[in-house]
Amino acid sequence: MPRAKKKERSLDLYEHIAALNSVEECCRFFDDLCAVTELRAMEQRFDVAKMLHAGKVYTAILSETGASSATVSRVNRVLNYGTGAMEEVMERVDQAKEASLPETDNSESRRTE
């Protein structure tokens, strides 16, 4: 039996993901597209990536996420030698969250003597 020809990457899926308007809509889209186990695996890998990005050690990541050491190693390799997109997006989200935090005015809490 001849081998199936390797399919070219279709950008259609990614165009549709990029068109999502909110986190809630994104959750619904992926709930419809993926099996629960697929989603949990992706969520776990992303949690591992965030923890590695934050400088957490393997043992803490293993205990907090329940991921295998192979998964942690694989995600670490992606962060170090991948395209850089994951870290770029994490930085963008962190910056957006920081920008949306209300600035605190500490002038009232200071005592003038």
- Give me 9's structure tokens: 């990457």
Going from the C-alpha of 3 to that of each of 6, 10, 77, the distances in angstroms are: 9, 20, 30
The Cβ of residue 13 has, within 10 Å, a number of other Cβ atoms equal to 10
pLDDT < 50: residue spans in the chain = 109-113
Spatial distance between the Cα atoms of 113 and 28, rounded to a whole number of angstroms:
57
Report helix, strand or coil for 99.
helix
What torsion, rounded to 10 degrees, do the Cα atoms 13, 36, 41, 87 define? 40
Q: What is the pLDDT of residue 104?
A: 64
Which amino acid is it at 39?
L
Q: What is the pLDDT of residue 111?
A: 46
Q: What is the pLDDT of residue 40?
A: 96
Burial (CB count within 10 angstroms: exposed 0-12, middle 13-18, buried 19+), residue 101: exposed
Whether pTM > 0.75 for this model: the answer is yes
Quote the DSSP letter at residue 7: P
Which amino acid is it at 37?
T
